[in-house]
Chains A and B, each alone.
Chain A
Amino acid sequence: MAEKIKILYIDDEMDNLTGFKATLRLDYQVFTAVNIPGAMEHLEKHADIRVIFCDQRMPITTGVEFFEEIRGTHPLPMRILITAYTDIESVIDAINRGNIFRFVKKPWMEPDLVSAIEEANKFYQANSMLSVKNEELQRAYSELDKFAYSVSHDIRGPLSGILGAINVAREMYDITEMKEMLFLMEKSLKKLDTYILSMHDYYSLQRGELHIGDIDFKKLTEEFKDIYKVFTNTANISFKVNINQREPFRSDTVPLKLILNNLLSNAFKYQNKNTDAKMVELTIDVHKGVATIQVSDTGIGILGNHLGEIFNLFYRASSQEAGSGFGLYNVKSALLKLNGQIEVNSVLNKGTTFKVTIPTK
């Protein structure tokens, strides 16, 4: 059963509070207070109170005054005034000023209260939904800005390079030089292609749904051994894989592979050229429903002042390789989908270790 809606009722007459609570406590979680300080205490403790009922005629502060006060400090709960017809002037005034959602006449009848709560709750939910959507929209806009900026560099950059190369080629007659340039052109185009593929990953991570299935890490990592054979053979980097899985693990292979692939390709790419025994080590332990994945390398390391920013979109902490600034951001997005965590440990010129923990679904 869903959690009960929290409501608060303020009235200086104890009998009213008791009657109110007795009527509604089965269907709602009811908080009561005989005065304003008591009410404020409840509001501070329970930020998720959705509906506040308040009696109009109280000593010191009237209901209308109270609602006017908390409108600024606690804007989310729906405010409902309980009052007798004789106070109608002040009620009309309060409603017109937007301080009150509804009023219930005194003495109240149970159906009136329930319908007021249900209506108020609908409004509350619509408002919260709106603020969540607003936040998402704000984030999407700020990422769109980053994209617009990156298009000017990461897409136009390689293209202007290729155009420049074509210009130069018009006055180039040496075949070796031409081949050298073609090789560099290819490199630039591959970078552009990687950028576009990563952009696709980015989009599918933001929008795609999860497809949960059984994960066999041994099988999954066999694929990576093949992919990184090029590095192990040509760049003389040894690749150690240790898998320790004795229990089933359920997750989505697509974001899982994306995480592994980005961490591994970084580990291979950002190797320290001066190190003799170059190595990348992947360790996966599945224990009590949690997969712990560690990727360690003997690479160039990451300077401490960059560590906080490496998961940001388009952030690059090295000029050694052609990074797009997408990889670790996508890793973070994928982990968000799988409820996972990531930690990084790095020593400059010695190596970096990423530790990922993901719970089974």
Chain B
Amino acid sequence: MESQFPILQIMDCNGQIVSPMYKEKITEDIVKNFYKQLLRIRLFDRKAVSLQRQGRIGTYAPFEGQEAAQVGSALALEPADWMFPTYRDHGAAFVFGHSLRNILLFWNGRNEGCVPPSGKRIFPPGIPIATQIPHAVGAALGEKIKGSNHAAIAYFGDGATSEGDFHEGLNFASVIKAPVVFFNQNNQYAISVPIEKQMNTKTIAQKALAYDIPSVRLDGNDVFIVYFETLKALERARKGEGPTLIEAVTWRYGAHTTADDPSKYRDQIESNNRRVETDPLLRLERWLKNEGLYEENWIRQIESDANQEIELAIAEMEAFPKANPADIFDYVFAEPTWQINQQKEEYLRLIGGEDKCIRR
């Protein structure tokens, strides 16, 4: 099966274009634009880990190493498309237009973090594994019924493909030809369980055969193959040709979340080697160097811009009004039930009333 699903690449680890048909499309502009996005989310991810260490946010799920998969796929979307991310896909959500402040609020235990900016169709991060896949199918079915040309993208990891919701989602989407892209980031570990213990198949892409939907396996650290293949899948969806499964093979350098230690379940030398050899940002730097376009000043400038943006978002997150206890009661139903009203009144009376809490 592995030979039926080769790992496709446009730019290899040395920054060489290995698919000649894309040679003209890989211009200085596109490389610099993609590099900027990769850097933005990498800097954010590192900063978030450090915020967690300092106790300024809660448990955090880092994605360092997976930036190309997230940036390439998110940039392929049209503004009115739907995004159904997991808890590790806030890089993609950010690139697609989510608010950085709200992403930080989410990691700091606030419901406000699940609210996308006005007009952005981004679902809250899926926490129970694979459950967001049927949601994406439903939203896509809605677009099909409306006769629009919008599509949906569902993100999920390798472990998610063992869940029923993955299979139910792919099967249903295939039957109804839903305009949806199933975007898998195969980082080869589900917390501590390596892919060989997760599945007996050598690829995730081959699972699409069972549903008779097209699939492709690609180098998830090559932002260009991710971008162009996602674009292709979205085009199929928009033309009414139904769903596609994309397997982006990648690697997370760090822990599953800030609450675990990866050295307990794998040799981190592998991660260190990958940082040098297959890193999504380094290969773009290598391309720039090969082409004589690498400018230290430009890199420093975009780094400083990104850091400024991140610091601003952190300041906004930290200046955000304290959690209002009334909120936990007020958003369960459109109109709270008498039970919820009673519990709210009694609790607020006990703690000295809502007035003592800072309102937004």
Verify that A and B bind, or say they do not. no
Residues of A at the B interface (CB closer than 8 Å) are none
Residues of B at the A interface (CB closer than 8 Å) are none
